[in-house]
A and B are shown apart, each in its own frame.
Chain A
């Protein structure tokens, strides 16, 4: 018996990402969880700056485009003033880990009761594929044309592992991907756990998502999925780094 599946009502407009971009799957999964939790009327999509800023016109729910990098700080303000509202901070690796690493780290450190979802596509997609803190060793980008040299630029950052290891109070930390049906279904469970943790006032929750950027990787959509599945999941392991204490 087939199970009915329908894109959430709040996503009734077409989205304008490139063909094969992973952001569309992440936005849909978040909207599915919000709908299943019946929080459509009491949620705020707090969005950083990156290609995902293109998603806000397609999301029919409360939403706010923050300054680049400051999304976790803005989410903090929303949550502290509206503790009953579900606050989702949607960011990219450039937003959360480069320009915004201070705000990201500080929100985790203060154990803010927000859910941060960071889409890691190993570059700054929106501005033409510059190197980010998560660009892989040797990866060619517009600002690392010879390949990322980790001797001079450091090793790619693993923020979920840092948070899980450093902040014992954090409620929930996981990393998922959108590149196989199994990963997508797992990721939805992670997002659901994080949102439930927030609704139960358990503290900070963080999910990183490995996601393809075929345009800036110079790949077809299928090649880009393959890169995530072959190369990225080795360096950025998938799974839960911190599970909820309350179930």
Chain B
């Protein structure tokens, strides 16, 4: 089940969320966005919806769905 939405276009592949995710649920896509970065993808089976990626991302990529997930 999806717990987090990603706006791929905004990701700059800085790696901060990948490092901060307590579940190691974040990796990079093989697609390239229009700024030339490979945006993050989340493994929904590993993700627990904790929101740390939202907290740390400087580029406003994530939305945590909470109860709506």
In-complex Cβ contact of B19 among A6, A24, A214, A222 (8 A): A222
Interface residue tally for chain A (C-beta within 8 Å): 29
- Chain B residues near A17 (CB-CB < 8 A): 58-59
Answer yes or no: A227 CB below 8 A from chain B CBs.
no
The answer to whether B58 and A23 touch across the interface, beta carbons within 8 angstroms, is yes
The answer to whether A2 and B64 touch across the interface, beta carbons within 8 angstroms, is yes
The answer to whether B58 and A22 touch across the interface, beta carbons within 8 angstroms, is yes
Interface residue tally for chain B (C-beta within 8 Å): 31
Interface residues in A206-228 by Cβ distance below 8 A to B read 214, 220-222, 225
Answer yes or no: B46 CB below 8 A from chain A CBs.
no
If the complex has contacts A221-B14, A222-B15, A222-B19, are A4 and B58 also in contact, measured as CB distance less than 8 A?
Answer: no
The answer to whether A2 and B60 touch across the interface, beta carbons within 8 angstroms, is no
- Beta-carbon nearest neighbor of A31 in chain B: B60
In-complex Cβ contact of A184 among B10, B55, B65 (8 A): B55
The answer to whether B56 and A181 touch across the interface, beta carbons within 8 angstroms, is yes
How many angstroms between the C-alpha atoms of A71 and B52 in the bound complex? Answer: 33
- Which applies to chain A's interface (DSSP): helix, strand, loop or mixed? loop
The answer to whether A6 and B63 touch across the interface, beta carbons within 8 angstroms, is yes
How many angstroms between the C-alpha atoms of A14 and B32 in the bound complex? Answer: 17
If the complex has contacts A20-B14, A181-B55, are A4 and B20 also in contact, measured as CB distance less than 8 A?
Answer: no
**A-to-B contact residues, CB < 8 Å:** 1-7, 11, 14-15, 17-25, 28, 178, 181, 184-185, 214, 220-222, 225
Could you list 29 examples of A-B contacts with CB < 8 Å?
A2-B48, A2-B50, A2-B65, A2-B66, A3-B51, A3-B66, A4-B68, A5-B64, A5-B66, A7-B60, A7-B62, A7-B63, A14-B10, A17-B59, A20-B12, A20-B58, A21-B58, A23-B58, A24-B58, A25-B56, A28-B58, A178-B58, A181-B20, A181-B56, A185-B55, A221-B14, A221-B15, A222-B16, A225-B16
**B-to-A contact residues, CB < 8 Å:** 3, 9-10, 12-16, 19-20, 37, 48-52, 54-60, 62-69
